[in-house]
Chains A and B, each alone.
Chain A
Amino acid sequence: MLYSDFCILTSVFYILLFAMIAIIDYKAGNLTSVQRALAFLGQDSVITSSAADVLAAERVIFPGVGAAGTAMFDLMRLKLDAALVETYGRGKPLLGICLGTQIVMDRSEENQTRCLGIIKGEVLRFPEAISEPGTRRLKVPHMGWNRVNLKREHSLFVGIDPQSEFYFVHSYYPAPRDRRNLLGETIYGIPFASVLTSANLVAVQFHPEKSGRPGLRLLSNFCVWDGKDHA
C-alpha cells in the first residue's frame, strides 16, 4: 500500500470515528447552533433524521425548540421515537436539550402529548399567577440566564463553576416523579427540574450551545462521557 493511500484510509477512518455524534433533526429546532458549538470544540457531528444513523452513532444529542405535540408527531413519523428509546436501552451517551428534555418524560401538558416515557413524570406549564421578587407576575416563557443547583456531582458538570448560569427559553418544565432523576434544580417563581438524568441519559432544560463557556464545557464533557453515572 502506498503511503498516500494509507493517509486517505486513515482520514476516512477519522471522519467515521469523529462523525459519531448524531444530532437528531426532527424539524424542531436550531440545530446548526449545536453543531457550531461542537465544531468550535473540534468535534465533528452529523445532523440527521434517519433512525439508522441514530442507531449507528456513538453518542446522540437530542435538541429541540417548538411544541411537544408537533415534535412527537414528527419523531413518530420518522421512527425516531423507537430509535431514541433503543439508543437509551443500549447504554449510549444521550443528551437531551430544551424540548428534547421534555420529550423524554411520560407526557406533556402542552397539546396533551404522550411522550417517550424514558423518565417517569409529567411536563407542566409555569403558573403565571405566581411571581419572582421585584416583579408583578411571572413572565412566561422563562427566558434568560439562570443558575442550576446541582443535587450531586456528575461527569457532565466536571469543571463547571457552581455559580455559572445557563440560557433558558421555555414555557413548560419537566416534573420527574422519582427524585433520583433530579440532577439539577432552577428557581423561577418555583423550583423546577432543569437537569434530569437516568443512567446514560442527561437532559438539560437550558441551551448549553448558547450558554457561553459553562455550556461549552458541558458539551465537551458530554463528548468524552462514557455514559455511566458514577454517583
Chain B
Amino acid sequence: MLSKRIIPCLDVRDGKLTKGIKFKGNVDIGDPVEMAAFYYDQGADELVFYDITASYERRDIMIETVRKVAERIFIPFSVGGGIRTVEDMRHVLLAGAEKVSINSAAIREPGLITKGAEAFGSQAIVLGMDVKRVPPSEKVPSGYEMVIDGGRTFTGLDALAWAKEGERLGAGEICLNSIDADGTQKGYELRLTKLIATSVNIPVIASGGAGAMEHIHEVFAEGMADAALIASITHYGTHTVKEIKSYLHEKGIKVRMSW
C-alpha cells in the first residue's frame, strides 16, 4: 500500500532559506543544502524548493543550489518559482530535480503544462495552485478562486475547474495551497483539499496551515490528500519529521517508517 508523503517545503531566495508568513516578512534561516540533508536524514519523503528570487538574472544561483542538493540527497525533490518556459524546466531537471512546479506561468500559458509533460513526462510536472476562498458565483461555482502573483491577483478561474483542466493538459501532480490557511498554523483547508483530491485522478499535495501534528492527520484522514507539505512546524523545531511520522503511524495512517 502506498505511503502518505510528508514533504518539507523550503523557500529559497538568492541561494538562502526563508520562511514566509502570508508571503510577507521573510526571514533568513539558513543554508538550503544543509537543511535538505537534515530533512533527508530525518525521513522526509520528498522535498519542495520554492525559488522566490526576485531578479531573473540571479536564477543561476538556484540552479547551483539544486545541483548541490542532488549530490547530497537521494529522494525526489521538486523546484518551483519563476519557471516560465520548457528551457527553464530543462535547466532545473538536468541539475537534478525530479519535478518542476509551475503556477502563475501555467495560468498565463496553459500550453506550458502540455509542453513540459511531452518533453519530460507528466511525472515531472507539478501544477502549483494558489487558492483563495470567495463567495460562490456563476464564474467560480466551487467558491474557490485561483490567485497568482503570491496571492495578489485574482484570475476569475474556478479552482476545481482548473485542477481538472491541469490534469487533462498533462500535469502529473497537484500542489494545492490555500492562501487563507497559509502561515496561520491553524490547520489545512480540509474542504478544499477533499474537493480537489477526490475530483482528479492524480496525487494532491495539501499545502498551507500545518501548525500541529493533528492537522497533518486531518488532512490525510478527512482531506483525502496524498501528501502533506509542511514548513514552520519543522523549520522552527516544534516537531521533527520523525515525530510527525510516528504520530501518524500510531493513528493508523500508512507512512514510510524505515529509511
Contact = CB atoms under 8 A, between A and B. Distances in A.
B160 to A, nearest CB: 16
A24 interface: no
A165 B96 contact: no
Interface stretch (A110-118, A139-147, A195-203): A139-147
A128 B201 contact: yes
Interface size class of B (residues with CB under 8 A): 20 to 34
Nearest to A169: B123
Given A161-B258, A164-B258, 11 more contacts: A32-B96, A36-B71, A65-B123, A128-B201, A136-B198, A140-B201, A144-B2, A145-B5, A163-B257, A210-B74, A214-B258
B18 to A, nearest CB: 26
What 9 A-B pairs come out closest when comparing CB atoms?
A: A163-B258, A145-B3, A165-B256, A145-B256, A169-B123, A144-B2, A210-B76, A212-B259, A161-B258
Interface in B62-76: 70-71, 74-76
B98 A30 contact: yes
B258 A65 contact: no
Interface of B: 1-3, 5, 40, 45, 70-71, 74-76, 93-94, 96, 98, 121-123, 172-173, 198, 201-203, 224, 226-227, 256-259
Chain A interface, >50% SS class: mixed
A109 interface: no
Nearest to A136: B198
Interface in A155-192: 161, 163-165, 167, 169, 187-188
A27 to B, nearest CB: 11
Nearest to A207: B76
A144 B201 contact: no
B171 to A, nearest CB: 12
Given A30-B98, A65-B123, A212-B75, A144 B226 contact: yes
A225 to B, nearest CB: 19
Contacts of A49: none
Nearest to A140: B201
Contacts of A132: 1-2
A140 B173 CA distance: 11
B5 A144 contact: yes
A215 interface: yes
Contacts of B226: 139, 144
B96 A36 contact: yes
A4 interface: no
A10 interface: no
A135 B173 CA distance: 16
Given A142-B2, A165-B256, A214-B259, A32 B94 contact: yes
B125 to A, nearest CB: 12
A165 B259 CA distance: 8
B176 to A, nearest CB: 14
